[in-house]
Structure 1
């Protein structure tokens, strides 16, 4: 049709696109299911789609309405006696609210309040110092930016002392020196105790299967995760020298990771050893490392400002883009300080908590100083941990007590936080505590998520306009090449900033929800393994012990790696969805998306209609008592329905297979951060390395943290230690009261101790008899072996005319037989 250009006149209305032809004519391309020259008529397909959507909506309303009706009816049919029981059970719980408030008042001690105040003061002081160090660098680069000069600053000479090829060489020697002191003064408990008086023993930084200072260890691991993230960024960005080989680069990264571990080793090991010497050294080292970190991050390694050491990596293009987007004011400094808040809070907690631990240790030592050394029972750190399991109020003992109680009679937690969280979300239990390893992993992941989110929002946003233009040009070229007559873009892109920010926040929220669900699943799976339930975690197999051990090694690393990938995939898919939604909102219509929806909507409506029709028939026609009993009702009608449904579902099966693939992709992306979920299914889940690592972690945790095992072992060990304590005191009293200077033989003393031990422990008599009989049998067996060898030698060497003693023995045995 001939008329004016589509840009000046649009006859197609809101349901069509006006398209110009080369010959000067125009044509209306109708949206969705509209037809006609001017796209003003509804097509038969459109009428059918609307009808099917109305029928599907009616089925959904009827199904859920009936479900709500019968559920309300079932609740009303409950007897008054059951309702009274429920009310009686709820009465004691109602008094827990004021008790929880009392507990939170008691738990909010002056020490906790003082720690919080001091943390805020030290954090503010650290941020203020870093502000003063960054301000001159910022002003220098701003002046160079205005002069169009090269944007980099010259690092201070102290950076050469602190930093040597990206290795902090100032705090590392101090850390190694303190570790050497800890090793010298630590005592061995099992290996060569008499040599060097038991000193020079390996030190343990943290016991991941216990509850010793879990919060402190988690905070330290959060600090370590911040530094490890910098290494990951360098690996991803490829900021390496071209002269170095690939293997050398990765070896240097591994070496740097080990150096980071050595830097924080003294802090963790000092808290685990828990002595005055180690805590004093840790305090000095923590303050030194915190001060050096502030100076290093302020003068030597800034997040945004390039120095003369790393200017060649970007040639100043990144800082130019940041100045253009955020301006030359104080915005970049504020962003850096905001990013440093979690890191400085963690450090302030460490440097405050260590002096408090030292003060408590000194006060405890003074209390026990005046006591008689002979009456004190010296225990190692591991012995104290084991003996605590059999205490009355320990977590393990609470678990054992709850085994003999019904679920409705178990005492609920009286913590204020436990009362705030709804039970359908998370039920707090006082008979379970997560191990130190779980808290350390979660503290690290939370801080990693914070830094990734901040960097994704701050560093990427200035490049979104350029990325949008590039993608738009690519889409336009593809659409024009496929349709030469269409000069308009079939997928106009909106501004990327708004959907990008929302996608990043969506990825953060979804990932945090997945982490919380995984935390609850870890507890549930541990409880299942404790009671021998293998419904979710495969049953422990002896042939897979090596796999469990290696999987336990990989758990923390796989957890963080899967988490980052899941976060990135969720952000990518959410960005695509939000861009599509924003395109509809901004432009009103998008041809490409309309074509996709035109294909998808009828299929989805058909599947929705068939699904709810099957649900209605199954619950109210083919099952007895509205689905409460799995028994067939209306058998003949069911057979007829199954006959015709056989052919109908063959058509829907093809569509369902495509949806299955799409669901598996979406589910794999959403559950990428969940190691307890395997997208391969139950039959192939062991092929998933992440799930295998999770199974190994669960089995190792269950073996070493089984509450029943710990309570039994703790009880037996406490009884043994109590007897040793009584015996030691008696022997010391006898030695002090003895006035005669007569020396007895050591063998007599040993036999006397043996008699006392057997009298006090009659059960050991049978064990001693069994051990003595085994020794006697071993001696007899050895003697018989010697006689056999001698007989063999005599048989080969003696003359045939002579009869040896062995021959006479054999002859005598034959005559007797």
Structure 2
């Protein structure tokens, strides 16, 4: 009994100690045991469970990849080759061309939609844990290798969607309709089954697939329209067999129909409003009759817009929900810590009493931070879209200038517009460069404008609202003699330069009072050094803002003209223009089509039917071809002269032809016996 009592007596303190330890443990893990004071936000990834759609991405790709490959091989066998040769590209079935990038096609929207699907798929796989859908749950060490393989897999996977339009056959239109419908239905089904995902934000996966779904819906409507058009349209004429022939004729007619405006020599009076309207029009691209933007530029603008959307979406869902979670979970203990560090103003920071006012202040600061972030992101997107529209205007201006042979209006030194190794490489990578530069430009702008907006809000707006003085206002108030000295020095120099050191005559201006000028220059040298420091800071700010805003524009260089070749974006743009102008000159194409146009046999047949008499049959074939040939030669010479006047760079291509005495329609006189 004693032992038991003694054991009980000894066990009571132990129980009390364990109870105290439990209390300490419960106090230590208080945030895990107690109910949360603030309801948990839905943006926590742990709250959202994993969702497996009915048609998993792995099953979708396992089924569609062989189908895409079979469609590609079938179309190649259907269209490509009729007889076998030893040469791989001339005999056996080869890979279909995705699009004629150097020609004008009617399916430009279809090609742009496929490129939009391809780029959006690449954006999704960067943050996906399974970069290659055929391989699930890869190891961390092999994940980067699968990403590299996915960069080649997705272009192959979506290749039939763009190749079906190149074939221009009813079977290809039917197959394209079926493929686009399958892709579209599966993607919509997957997002309806699983609209939420634990990746970054619950709706990020659905929002990131919006461009893919929109492009697939566009393809699902475009291919059936092409199929219906193929049944309702009659047999194609020669103008439609040659790609872009109708556009080249329209361009030629638009150029020839231009007349000089009456009174263009008189100078128009321009006021401030008209100048502002002209400046705003220079940033707005409007279609122009007779001119069409090349296909490569359409693709680059499409992918650049999608890139801006994807990057803006990622920046938005990464930061804003986090700020909302921090604001909702802010407690008085954290506010007390911020007050002790001096980050939050308090009436009596030494006495930690009621922190309700300080808590509201911290939440207001976080709300202001969120507003600054969203406003800066919206401003960056608007600026990027504006610069892209400005890029289209400059593209059209530069292309039209180069079409006319005005090389020095585009480049600061003469360039030979002909293909080269670097030009071909730059032409192939131009659309990719434009997309990448749009992404990086948006990121740089967001960082700069967010910092500027936060500084302006917390250094000017909030102090003015609360009526308190911050360190910036204290510095400005204490240094007012310094700022006043700089302002007075600048004003004095400008007034002295205008009234004392400059002598104005009716026809010229001359320096005067040179001795006083030298004295003032010497005396104001120290003050001008301080003014130069402020001017240097302003130069740095302006340079940073200008380069950040115009970073996505490849038609201008961010470097000096002497070193602008070191700018990779502008370097690629210049060589891209060389390929486009030398290979897709619309005037040259129209000229070639006119030369290749076969004679119309209707009149000859009617003439032969009416020539019944033998004398007329003998005489008419001799006279008519002579006059017709002379008319054709005259027309060809006029077209050639007009083409060479508007594009002198083609003169070098005719040097070998000019040495031929039969060139240009000149016929050799028959040798006399």
State TM-score, norm by structure 1. 0.54
1:559 aligns with 2:429: no
The within-5 A match list for 1:69-84 is none
Structure 2 counterpart of 1:448: 307
Would you say the 8 A contact 2:98–2:166 is kept in 1? yes
SS at match of 1:699: helix
Which of 204, 221, 237 is equivalent to 1:352? 221
Q: Distance in 1 between matches of 2:79 and 2:170?
A: 13
Structure 1 counterpart of 2:269: none
Which of 665, 683, 686 is equivalent to 2:562? 683
1:152 aligns with 2:21: no
- Can you give the 5+ residue segments of structure 1 that lack an aligned partner in the other structure? 1-141, 307-313, 323-331, 370-375, 411-418, 481-485, 735-757, 771-817
**What CA deviation, in whole Å up to 9, does each residue of 1:247-281 have, x standing for no partner?**
x5444223323322223322222223221121111
Which of 79, 100, 108 is equivalent to 1:207? 100
Structure 2 counterpart of 1:290: 184
Structure 1 residues 273 and 149, CA gap change in structure 2 (3 angstroms): closer
Structure 2 counterpart of 1:702: 581
Which of 596, 606, 612 is equivalent to 1:717? 596
**What CA deviation, in whole Å up to 9, does each residue of 1:571-596 have, x standing for no partner?**
22222222233324334346344367
The within-5 A match list for 1:265-414 is 265-299=159-193, 302=194, 304-306=196-198, 342-364=211-233, 367-368=234-235, 381=241, 383-385=242-244, 387-391=245-249, 394-399=250-255, 401-402=257-258, 405=260
Which of 408, 428, 433 is equivalent to 1:534? 408
Would you say the 8 A contact 1:221–1:440 is kept in 2? yes
Q: Distance in 2 between matches of 1:535 and 1:474?
A: 63
- Cα distance, 1:159 vs. partner? 1.7
Structure 2 counterpart of 1:177: 70
Structure 1 residues 153 and 285, CA gap change in structure 2 (3 angstroms): same
Would you say the 8 A contact 2:191–2:206 is kept in 1? no
Q: Distance in 2 between matches of 1:715 and 1:601?
A: 76
Would you say the 8 A contact 2:407–2:415 is kept in 1? no
**What CA deviation, in whole Å up to 9, does each residue of 1:389-430 have, x standing for no partner?**
552xx134423554x6459789xxxxxxxx999745547432
Out of 676-685 and 181-190, give the one that drifted further.
181-190
Structure 1 residues 210 and 597, CA gap change in structure 2 (3 angstroms): farther
Q: Distance in 1 between matches of 2:315 and 2:111?
A: 28
Would you say the 8 A contact 1:540–1:699 is kept in 2? no
Structure 1 counterpart of 2:319: 460
The within-5 A match list for 1:646-657 is 648=525, 649=528, 652-657=531-536
Would you say the 8 A contact 2:197–2:205 is kept in 1? no
Would you say the 8 A contact 1:559–1:675 is kept in 2? yes
SS at match of 1:170: helix
**What CA deviation, in whole Å up to 9, does each residue of 1:662-689 have, x standing for no partner?**
3333333222222233333222221121
- Cα distance, 1:521 vs. partner? 1.8
Q: Distance in 2 between matches of 1:548 and 1:389?
A: 25
Structure 1 residues 352 and 242, CA gap change in structure 2 (3 angstroms): closer
Would you say the 8 A contact 2:554–2:573 is kept in 1? yes
Structure 2 counterpart of 1:659: 538
Structure 2 counterpart of 1:586: 462
Q: Distance in 2 between matches of 1:655 and 1:181?
A: 69
Would you say the 8 A contact 2:124–2:208 is kept in 1? no
Q: Distance in 1 between matches of 2:500 and 2:587?
A: 50
- Cα distance, 1:282 vs. partner? 0.6
Which of 282, 289, 299 is equivalent to 1:430? 289
Structure 1 residues 499 and 541, CA gap change in structure 2 (3 angstroms): same
Q: Distance in 1 between matches of 2:205 and 2:454?
A: 29
Structure 1 residues 633 and 388, CA gap change in structure 2 (3 angstroms): same
Structure 1 counterpart of 2:645: none
Q: Distance in 1 between matches of 2:94 and 2:488?
A: 71
Structure 1 residues 487 and 507, CA gap change in structure 2 (3 angstroms): farther
Structure 1 residues 192 and 422, CA gap change in structure 2 (3 angstroms): farther
Which of 122, 127, 131 is equivalent to 1:228? 122
Would you say the 8 A contact 1:162–1:296 is kept in 2? no
Q: Distance in 1 between matches of 2:581 and 2:380?
A: 32
Q: Distance in 2 between matches of 1:699 and 1:474?
A: 63
Would you say the 8 A contact 1:226–1:343 is kept in 2? yes
Structure 1 counterpart of 2:5: none
- Cα distance, 1:567 vs. partner? 1.0
State TM-score, norm by structure 2. 0.64
Q: Distance in 2 between matches of 1:711 and 1:607?
A: 65
SS at match of 2:561: coil
Structure 1 counterpart of 2:617: none
Structure 1 residues 650 and 715, CA gap change in structure 2 (3 angstroms): farther
Structure 2 counterpart of 1:511: 384
- Cα distance, 1:523 vs. partner? 1.8
Structure 1 residues 527 and 622, CA gap change in structure 2 (3 angstroms): farther
Would you say the 8 A contact 1:183–1:201 is kept in 2? yes
Would you say the 8 A contact 1:685–1:691 is kept in 2? yes
- Cα distance, 1:660 vs. partner? 2.7
- Cα distance, 1:150 vs. partner? 7.6
- Can you give the 5+ residue segments of structure 2 that lack an aligned partner in the other structure? 1-38, 266-276, 344-348, 352-357, 610-628, 637-656, 664-673
How many correspondences in the alignment? 534
Cα RMSD of the aligned pairs, angstroms, is 5.2
